[in-house]
Each structure stands twice: as structure tokens, then as C-alpha cells.
């Protein structure tokens, strides 16, 4: 790998261990029951166009760091939505509508979740109303619209769009398909997470190697906790689980450190848009709090470089389209290998089989192109 020397300068922001670590399959599957997980796979694997997304061997990167295997789950190939989110919102729409053609579904979104709900509604011939804040790009809004949704723009940030969605949906009797939980609103987030767990079912059939480590990106923690529940359901051996977040939105890290849900005030929005969340959702927290070994945070520096390197096949034999939220998995692994103490405490060595989740492709194609060219500039 030509660009190997540049990795020497990559370093994490914070790294902590979970003092309350106590992985229990039983407790996890009480929160997200096996029946939910199995139902989701049975339904989604029957959808038209379904096929498992590739599990790519990052052989060039594992050679550089003398690790046995690094697997990258490439969600850029997930249906035509280009992110794992396709598995969640669309599945919740199917379950909640339960064959009723007369309901209207709604949600608030930063982008990918709303697209999944809109697509899920379109598949079933239902109408959808998608609430977005002014922070959501025009390109993302047009993209959601292309799945037949009506876009409702709200002044303010994501929280304001969620409030507007709840108010208007209650008045109009629209079914809210939200990926975050609140008091007495847990079923839909659990269905959404069940959909995401399909990734682990696929991985359990794509490799015979026992996974020793999983690096998991988190926003509100939905994807991370769904993967953990999938591990509890499908994996024979329990890997070390490391949560990754932007340093500006490290709410899982803060909550693990304080041993209670802790909200962080986001002062600067990270370029890792889907992960720029200040509060862990309630259902994920019940799973995450005792199941993750470590949390790591990182800055936006080098995201573009990593996106460009994925595109140039610097980590694997094939080129990979990975968006801004796909990069931090690779970066955290590199940062952990660069730091002797972390490398030792994680037991990263020639026997390690690491799983990284490439959660999205070029979901915002303008931003993606910009990152590739910025990254290529930096690599010169």
C-alpha cells in the first residue's frame, strides 16, 4: 500500500473502557427478541431484488497491520438505497401497515431513514410524509421525493423536524415510523433495529472465520445495538465490540463513561452526518450499556482521505464506494493499531478477524464527489 506512511499520523480523540461490561445474550434478546429478529429476516429476504450485500476482504489493510482478516460489509449495495437504512424503516412500514392500504406513514429524518420509509411506502402503494429540517440538503430531499414521498420542510434542526412530525401526524392520524424511541414509543424502533440485524444473519453465512472484533459506528445507537442483537442471536463466539463516534457527538461514549444516559451538546456538526447525534435512543441504550467493551471518538480529519482511498482500491483488491459514515470504521482500526496501549488492550494481533460496517455508499452524490476529490488532493 503506497499511502501507508500517512497512517502514522492518524490518531483517535478519546478511548475508554466500559467498566460495566457484562455481555449477556439473554438480556439482549429480552430487549430485541429472537422472534423479532427472525421475522425480519424471513420478510426482508423475500423482498423483490433482495440479495446479501458483499463481505469484502480488506486484504491490503490486514497485510499492513499484520491482522488475520478484515471484513468490510458493503452496504452501498443494499437494494437501490445504498445504505443499511433500507433494511429498517421500510421493514417497519410493512409490519405497521400490515396489509392496510389506507394508512399514511410519516417520519422525521436526516436523510437515509426517510428514504427507507418512503421506499417502503412506495413498495406497498402507501402515501408518505417525510419531515426534514433546513440542514438536510436539496439533493437528499429530491432523492426522497423520487420515492413518491411528500417532503415537509421545517425550520430549525432535526429535533424541530421530529416535533413537527409528531404534532402533525397526531392531528392527521398518520402512522409515525420513527427510528428513535421515546416513552411509550418502542415498537417501531425495535422493528427498525430488527431489520438492521439482517446484516449479521448474512455475515454469519458469508464467512467461517470467527469474528474477534467489531467496530461499530453510532449516531443514536440503533445500528450498533441491532448488530449487537444480531451477534447475540447468530454468532457462536462473542467478539470485542468497539463503538465509534465523531468527537463532536460522542453521546454513547459519554453515557458509558457516566454509566447513565448523557446528552451532549453538539457545537459543530460532524461531516459524518448520520452519526452527528447528541443523545442515545432508549431502546439501543438498554442493549449497549453492558455489551460494548470500548468507545472511541475521532475527528473529521482524514474522512475524505479514507473515502478516496476506498475508491482507489487502496485497502482491498476492489474499488469500494463508501460515504462519510463508512470511513470511520477503517480509521478507528488504523488508529487503534497505531497506539500500542490500545492495540494491546483490544488484543489486536495476527489472529484477529475484524468486522467493519461500510454503512453507506454515495447516498449524497455531490458530497461524495467532493470528498473523493478533496481526499485525492491530500494524497498527492
In sequence order, the 6+-apart residues with CB closer than 8 A to the CB of 189 are: 178, 179, 180, 181, 222, 281, 282, 283, 284
- Terminal alpha carbon distance of the chain: 14
In sequence order, the 6+-apart residues with CB closer than 8 A to the CB of 68 are: 62, 209, 350, 351, 352, 353
Q: At closest approach, how far in Å is the CB of 221 from ligand PLP?
A: 5
Q: At closest approach, how far in Å is the CB of 283 from ligand PLP?
A: 10
Tell me, by CB under 6 A, how many residues bind ligand PLP.
Answer: 16
CA distance 181 to 282: 6
Residue 105 or 277 having the CB closest to ligand PLP: 277
Could you say which of 86, 105, 218, 288 contacts ligand PLP (CB under 6 A)? 218
The DSSP secondary structure of 336-349, one letter per residue, reads HHHSHHHHHHHT-S
Could you say which of 81, 162, 223, 334 contacts ligand PLP (CB under 6 A)? 223
Contact between 371 and ligand PLP by CB under 6 A: the answer reads no
Could you say which of 121, 154, 220, 348 contacts ligand PLP (CB under 6 A)? 220
Residue 64 or 109 having the CB closest to ligand PLP: 109
**E strand residue ranges, 1-79:** 14-17, 55-57, 69-74
In the stretch 77-96, what mask flags binding to ligand PLP with x, by CB under 6 A?
------x-------------
Q: At closest approach, how far in Å is the CB of 172 from ligand PLP?
A: 26
Q: At closest approach, how far in Å is the CB of 249 from ligand PLP?
A: 10
Contact between 221 and ligand PLP by CB under 6 A: the answer reads yes
CA distance 360 to 371: 14
Contact between 117 and ligand PLP by CB under 6 A: the answer reads no
Contact between 212 and ligand PLP by CB under 6 A: the answer reads no
CA distance 374 to 372: 6
Could you say which of 222, 239, 278, 375 contacts ligand PLP (CB under 6 A)? 222
Q: At closest approach, how far in Å is the CB of 292 from ligand PLP?
A: 13
Question: Using an 8 Å Cβ cutoff, are 165 and 323 in contact?
Answer: no
Distances (CA, A) of 27 to 37, 163, 213, 286, 289: 15, 32, 21, 9, 11
Number of residue whose CB is nearest ligand PLP: 274
Site for ligand PLP in 53-82 (CB under 6 A): none
CA distance 367 to 23: 38
Could you say which of 359, 367, 371, 372 contacts ligand PLP (CB under 6 A)? 359
What are φ and ψ of residue 118, in 5° steps?
-60, -45
Could you say which of 28, 164, 308, 325 contacts ligand PLP (CB under 6 A)? 325
Contact between 219 and ligand PLP by CB under 6 A: the answer reads yes
CA distance 230 to 374: 36
Site for ligand PLP in 261-280 (CB under 6 A): 274-275, 277
Q: Contact residues for ligand PLP (CB under 6 A)?
A: 83, 112, 217-224, 274-275, 277, 325, 359-360
Amino acid at each position: 500500500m503506497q499511502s501507508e506512511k500517512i497512517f502514522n499520523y492518524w490518531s483517535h480523540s478519546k478511548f475508554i473502557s466500559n467498566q460495566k461490561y457484562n455481555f449477556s445474550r439473554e438480556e439482549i434478546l429480552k430487549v430485541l427478541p429472537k422472534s423479532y429478529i427472525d421475522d425480519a429476516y424471513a420478510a426482508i429476504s423475500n423482498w423483490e431484488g433482495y440479495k446479501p450485500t458483499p463481505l469484502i476482504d480488506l486484504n491490503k489493510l490486514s497485510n499492513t497491520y499484520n491482522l488475520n482478516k478484515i471484513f468490510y460489509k458493503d452496504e452501498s449495495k443494499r437494494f437501490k438505497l445504498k445504505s443499511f437504512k433500507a433494511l429498517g424503516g421500510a421493514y417497519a412500514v410493512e409490519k405497521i401497515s400490515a396489509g392496510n392500504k389506507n394508512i399514511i406513514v410519516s417520519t422525521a429524518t436526516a436523510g437515509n431513514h426517510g428514504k427507507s420509509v418512503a421506499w417502503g411506502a412506495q413498495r406497498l402503494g402507501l402515501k408518505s410524509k417525510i419531515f426534514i429540517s433546513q440542514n438536510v440538503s436539496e439533493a437528499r430531499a429530491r432523492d426522497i421525493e423520487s420515492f413518491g414521498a411528500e417532503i415537509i420542510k421545517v425550520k430549525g434542526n432535526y429535533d424541530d423536524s421530529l416535533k413537527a412530525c409528531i404534532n402533525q401526524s397526531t392531528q392527521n392520524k398518520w402512522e409515525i415510523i420513527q427510528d428513535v424511541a421515546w416513552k411509550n414509543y418502542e415498537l417501531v424502533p425495535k422493528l427498525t433495529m430488527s431489520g438492521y440485524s439482517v446484516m449479521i444473519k448474512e455475515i454469519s453465512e458469508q464467512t467461517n472465520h470467527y469474528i474477534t472484533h467489531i467496530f461499530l459506528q453510532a449516531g443514536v445507537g440503533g445500528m450498533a445495538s441491532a448488530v449487537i442483537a444480531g451477534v447475540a442471536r447468530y454468532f457462536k463466539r462473542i467478539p470485542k465490540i468497539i463503538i465509534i463516534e465523531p468527537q463532536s457527538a460522542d453521546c454513547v461514549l459519554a453515557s458509558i463513561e457516566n454509566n447513565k444516559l448523557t446528552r451532549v451538546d453538539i457545537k459543530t456538526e460532524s461531516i459524518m452526518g448520520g452519526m452527528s447525534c447528541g443523545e442515545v435512543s432508549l431502546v439501543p441504550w438498554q442493549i449497549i450499556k453492558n455489551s460494548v467493551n470500548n468507545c472511541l471518538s475521532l475527528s473529521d480529519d482524514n474522512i475524505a482521505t479514507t473515502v478516496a482511498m476506498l475508491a482507489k482500491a487502496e485497502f482491498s483488491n476492489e474499488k469500494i464506494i463508501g460515504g462519510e459514515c463508512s470511513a470511520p470504521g477503517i480509521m478507528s482500526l488504523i488508529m487503534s493499531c497505531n497506539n500500542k496501549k490500545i492495540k494491546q488492550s483490544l488484543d489486536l494481533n495476527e489472529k484477529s478477524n475484524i468486522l467493519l460496517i461500510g454503512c453507506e455508499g454515495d447516498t449524497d452524490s455531490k458530497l461524495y464527489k467532493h470528498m473523493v476529490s478533496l481526499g485525492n488532493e491530500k494524497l498527492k
